[in-house]
Amino acid sequence: MPNKREPGTLPEHTETGVSGGPMNTISGILLDPANVRPEDIRLYDIAHPLSLLCRGVGQVRHFLSIGQHCVNCAKEAQARGHSDRVVLACLLHDGAEAYTSDVIRPVKVLLSDFDVLEDTFQNAIYAHFGLGDLSDEELAQVKAIDDDMLWNEAKELFSHTEDLEPPLLASEPNLGVRAFDEVEEEYIALAERLLERLR
């Protein structure tokens, strides 16, 4: 018979020493946000929350998930003829937001240590999926696609963008409303195909 615990308490083996306690994930992994390790990362723990989190913290004309943004970025990388490594990096580039939530750029610059925390998660994610050695050139390709996609999303979703002329894309991103489970499934399937090719 299992040991009984008081309601709202965690088993002893889950203590991490972090003042806020361990972070619970959808797959059941308990991780220490101050000491994220590659072995703590699971694809489902990224794909599921990213399919539920809205771009622009919801300050948009209609729902577009971060997961959908990442899928669009990966497809754009494919359309530009980038390597499978860069396509996978584009798919995973906002993976940290599955753990930290989305903080929009105008707010992020006001949070002095947030980049450090976000980088800790993102580095663990890249390492888990074999991308811990991304070159400066590869990272620049990911950033360029992320920025180009952002401006195209802004034209569709944000206010005060009437005069905006977003950069041309090589693909046609789906910026419409999609069911979260459909995005989650596509995200996972695309990641698995890329990982299989990179093995």
At residue 6, the pLDDT reads 54
- CB proximity list for 179: less than 8 A, separation 6 or greater: none
72 exposure class (CB count in 10 Å sphere: 0-12, 13-18, 19+): buried
pLDDT digits (tens, 9 = 90+) for 7-57: 544 445 445 444 577 899 999 999 998 889 999 999 999 999 999 999 999
Rounded-to-integer distance, Cα 117 and Cα 53, Å:
19
Is residue 36 within 8 A of residue 95, CB to CB? The reply is no
Helix axes 43-52, 180-198, angle to 10 degrees: 150
**Structure token pair of residue 150:** 């952002």
Task: Give tens-digit pLDDT for 62-95.
Answer: 999 999 999 999 999 999 999 999 999 999 999 9
Q: How many other β-carbons are positioned within 10 Å of the β-carbon of residue 192?
A: 11
Residues 3 and 87: their CA atoms lie apart, in Å, by 47
Question: Do residues 180 and 74 make contact, with C-beta atoms less than 8 angstroms apart?
Answer: no
> Which residue pairs from 15-21 have beta carbons closer than 8 angstroms and sit at least 24 positions apart in sequence?
none
Q: What's the CA gap between 65 and 6, in Å, rounded?
A: 37
